[in-house]
Structure 1
């Protein structure tokens, strides 16, 4: 925050501090009086930056209020008063529905509150997705937060607020609110609002658009990727954007970094917010100059009458055991280890007592290794159960065979991961916006005791959601027309990014030229993605596929791999961020004529 204020001219600083899981974890700690509810680093940024924010008259809009936006707003009010600055503080609330947990449970049971993926009958959910409904005392809801939009933010800015602390507004809502206030957009200026939504999406993830989490990073010197500066988006009156950064700060902003971030955590061609529906099928991305990328072509439509609702509950307990094998006959070693543990649990009649018991083989030893570490791989035994004593028996089953281990078994002497710890389950839902009490509360009097509250109500216009697009390419061309091929990693021709969408993983991949696109769109079918996933594909998964032609991109959503979502996923890559790099590493027949262009 301080660097964004100091190193150049900006009108508004926005900040996205929230992930779905950190709200839930903070809720548990807050209930024990062990956490303030707001995000400590948000306070830290304000503490460092208030003087320069006051001097430059910069507006600040952040969702770092988390579960307690009023608490952080009051702390900010006190700091401003103590430093004798001229800044007005407000906070946005109405997202926290935990006081209505019992009603939410009833409405999930009776179908009034539906699962986020319920509209598609072909999508199957993890078998434990609704287990908390059957055990409400054992698996109580710990947090329930609806995703709010920009309207309360804009109202606060119109009323003179300089710093607005939000709870669970959507990641891009601070940017939409700032742009709508600056340009005085009406609620039905959907094209402009949609453009701002995409602008917010491009800068919401810290340095993801200035060089972080970037598939093409290997083309740059390591020094260019250290201490990355955060991005800036310039939004014009039509909602079109230029993505850039402060010249004095490190990092890279290119068409490729922007495309990668654009494709991150999408649900397809329609990007949803509680205020607008953005259609990105015609989006265009073009470099204007060094570290300046122009983004146009987003179309906007009225929002749905619903918004996302993230429900977290106590799922039970989980633990993991990490073991190493060295070199020779590794697969047989892991076969033996898994058989030993499963056999003992079976003797004790406990196998069916686990919700999850997974033996994950991580890595492949280097052939003809040049060090012991290069010959080392590990096994991750991951388990979940509602009964903590069941998990304790997992460690006992392993220890029973502790001195009957395979040749060369080793592990860290720190075995704390074996100890069961509680985990949170996630239920992604949708809720009617008319049920929310979204409001901005403004401290505009001589004290913080009685803020002025202004409710904004639901959107004035909404449209029901249509089914998500899902199609193969129109008029595919013959793959053979591109000449000789060679088996190479897909990443030799395509950049990509992936991420989590509840229980699902999204991935967007793109190429660089029109001719490559003709091959790529015809090659990258739904069955091809299934094949690329190899042993990770499960028959109950479902794939959606769309194209974004002007940026030469194919986008997929794979429904199911993350189970109940990040907080309870058994996957090592629980956030789905590594999925794209896995797919890019798989060898496919690439036309040699394209490889010569790399």
Structure 2
């Protein structure tokens, strides 16, 4: 094939907003979304994030088993499908999909580029993988390095794992190596565990030639990255206000684009003709998703969110501004992943009458059999969960059906296999109404990984960008300096609303779901759930901020609340929003949580389903739940 000439976009650099299109927000995102973003209209950069905490452990296990090269396969698929368009249009690509093998993915890209004679330069980023250091410390001292701390600043001397159990340990890098790679001519940059927003920060940083002390600009780009890094979450997907619009709107949401300005503000949009929508509400939902309160930390900058502004400026165009920046903290997030053992889920359905007593009988039978065989103490976790509540006077069998979920974890697989056999042996002794209608493979022991969160000093990271030659060899390595200034982060703010209004001052009330009047989003941060709720009406704000206190949220959590949990609350009055973090509610976190909603994604809609007393004067702005029923 002859040489494919690029259509250069470098001449526009710094003279207009940079258009950054995101094509992935998770490991399952298909590669063809990258090509869709590349061909849908003009963009300067394409970014993609295929990594999350649990993914790194999965890739480490696959590498140990000889079945993987450390990178996410879907990210490679996207590059294969899109490389011709990338080369033709001169689009630059920065992806957070290299996992534990960014050099391996970079070399595969170079092979494809060389084979097709594309004029593209490839680089990869290193410095995040410190697995060797963690294992070495555990072998020598029995603990993690002294400089590794938890969020309260205490050393992790209580780590309950050994060097041989550690699968991976990755530090969250910022955008500094990305910027250096771009300065030295890279067109495609493969990252390992950089922070989710780092590819977007790096693109804007290089485009405008910012200094690393331009904190307001960097903070604006950081939040632009936060908005678009979860792909369609900014443009209609996972939108809790979807019920107010035609369902067809959300069948195939187009992925977002951030037009970042020189001052760090941006416009969030998407390609014309794609589904979904970009509105103030979809952007507010994504802003409030997985943040850390009103101060959001990053390896390059600390973002202050108190004065955020979100304004619609046209169809599928929302201006995002008002973010202030401060120097970054001296530490960065560190994830340690270790082998947790084995887990299984045994599922059984129950129909009809006396449901709770049936579940209790089932649990009593199984626990007795386990005790008889001396197996009870061999489980680290053994939970019997009743999922659902039967509807009184059901009209169809589904309305009467609940299911039992037996969630078990153990250091070895044998107790889990024994549990499955006990269930099979007792088939003819089951309670009435029990029936199975599922794939029994969930009952087989499978390995699980535990995510152990830490922080570590940024100055201990050795970060670099590596540029490849046409043969896939490293031709240049650029070591990256650390941030010029740090600003230690103190305690997070948490407060009830100052000068709250008395509830009786709002007049008569009517009982209804909270979701009729507010929307929002929730997600996981390790073992914690964060949740943001907001109203779109300034007239409701005074009631909302006064009503939704710390104690009120605890009561809304209901029987799921435990005394060992901790809760924080802050307000964003410029967008009529309240944000909560509930610490500890996900247990050990996504990879080993016992919860059905182990990522906290359903938590907001659970709270919105709660019935509360809403002032009648607000009925004109309420929405209906619109939970239609088949006749």
Q: Which residue of 1 aligns with 2:502?
A: 478
Counterparts of 2:157 and 2:490, CA distance in 1: 25
Q: Which residue of 2 aligns with 1:21?
A: 54
Counterparts of 1:416 and 1:582, CA distance in 2: 29
Residues 522 and 203 of structure 1: is their aligned pair in 2 closer, same or farther, counting only changes over 3 Å? same
Q: How does 1:288-299 map to 2 (within 5 A)?
A: 288-299=313-324
Question: 90, 93, 102: which is aligned to 1:60?
Answer: 93
TM-score in terms of structure 1 length: 0.95
Kept after mapping to 1: 8 A contact 2:142/2:162: no
- Could you tell me how far 1:50 is from its partner in structure 2? 1.3
Q: How does 1:72-471 map to 2 (within 5 A)?
A: 72-105=105-138, 106=141, 108-109=143-144, 111-115=146-150, 117-119=151-153, 133-136=159-162, 140-412=165-437, 414-443=439-468, 445-471=469-495
Q: How does 1:551-590 map to 2 (within 5 A)?
A: 551-590=575-614
Residues 21 and 134 of structure 1: is their aligned pair in 2 closer, same or farther, counting only changes over 3 Å? closer
Q: How does 1:489-568 map to 2 (within 5 A)?
A: 489-568=513-592
- Could you tell me how far 1:371 is from its partner in structure 2? 2.4
Residues 118 and 562 of structure 1: is their aligned pair in 2 closer, same or farther, counting only changes over 3 Å? same
- Could you tell me how far 1:15 is from its partner in structure 2? 0.8
Counterpart secondary structure, 2:428: coil
Kept after mapping to 1: 8 A contact 2:269/2:317: yes
Counterpart secondary structure, 1:207: helix
Deviations 1:480-528 (A, max 9, x none): 1111111111101110100001110001100122221111111111111
Deviations 1:258-280 (A, max 9, x none): 00000001111111110000011
Counterparts of 1:367 and 1:496, CA distance in 2: 31
Counterparts of 2:438 and 2:300, CA distance in 1: 52
Kept after mapping to 2: 8 A contact 1:104/1:113: no
Deviating more after overlay: 224-233 vs 337-346? 337-346
Unpaired runs of at least 5, structure 2? 1-33, 623-631
Counterparts of 1:565 and 1:345, CA distance in 2: 27
Counterpart secondary structure, 2:621: coil
Deviations 1:91-122 (A, max 9, x none): 1111111121224545955652112x33499x
- Could you tell me how far 1:54 is from its partner in structure 2? 1.4
Kept after mapping to 2: 8 A contact 1:108/1:114: no
Deviating more after overlay: 361-370 vs 493-502? 361-370
Counterpart secondary structure, 1:286: strand
Kept after mapping to 2: 8 A contact 1:98/1:143: yes
Residues 505 and 108 of structure 1: is their aligned pair in 2 closer, same or farther, counting only changes over 3 Å? farther
Counterparts of 2:234 and 2:435, CA distance in 1: 40
- Could you tell me how far 1:130 is from its partner in structure 2? 8.1
Counterparts of 1:352 and 1:541, CA distance in 2: 26
Kept after mapping to 1: 8 A contact 2:258/2:266: yes
Kept after mapping to 1: 8 A contact 2:344/2:407: yes
Counterparts of 2:293 and 2:313, CA distance in 1: 27
Kept after mapping to 1: 8 A contact 2:110/2:470: no
Kept after mapping to 1: 8 A contact 2:134/2:145: no
Counterparts of 1:53 and 1:415, CA distance in 2: 45
Residues 120 and 587 of structure 1: is their aligned pair in 2 closer, same or farther, counting only changes over 3 Å? farther
Counterparts of 2:382 and 2:157, CA distance in 1: 19
Counterpart secondary structure, 1:477: coil
Q: Give aligned pairs, total.
A: 587
Q: Which residue of 1 aligns with 2:10?
A: none
- Could you tell me how far 1:368 is from its partner in structure 2? 2.8
Counterparts of 2:44 and 2:309, CA distance in 1: 25
Residues 413 and 181 of structure 1: is their aligned pair in 2 closer, same or farther, counting only changes over 3 Å? closer
Counterparts of 1:182 and 1:40, CA distance in 2: 29
TM-score in terms of structure 2 length: 0.90
Deviating more after overlay: 167-176 vs 454-463? 454-463
Counterpart secondary structure, 1:596: helix
- Could you tell me how far 1:233 is from its partner in structure 2? 0.5
Kept after mapping to 2: 8 A contact 1:263/1:555: yes
Unpaired runs of at least 5, structure 1? 122-128
Counterparts of 1:272 and 1:251, CA distance in 2: 30
Counterparts of 1:415 and 1:446, CA distance in 2: 50
Counterparts of 1:393 and 1:210, CA distance in 2: 47
Kept after mapping to 2: 8 A contact 1:147/1:169: yes
Question: 592, 607, 621: which is aligned to 1:597?
Answer: 621
Deviations 1:161-214 (A, max 9, x none): 111111111100000000001111000000000000000000000210111111
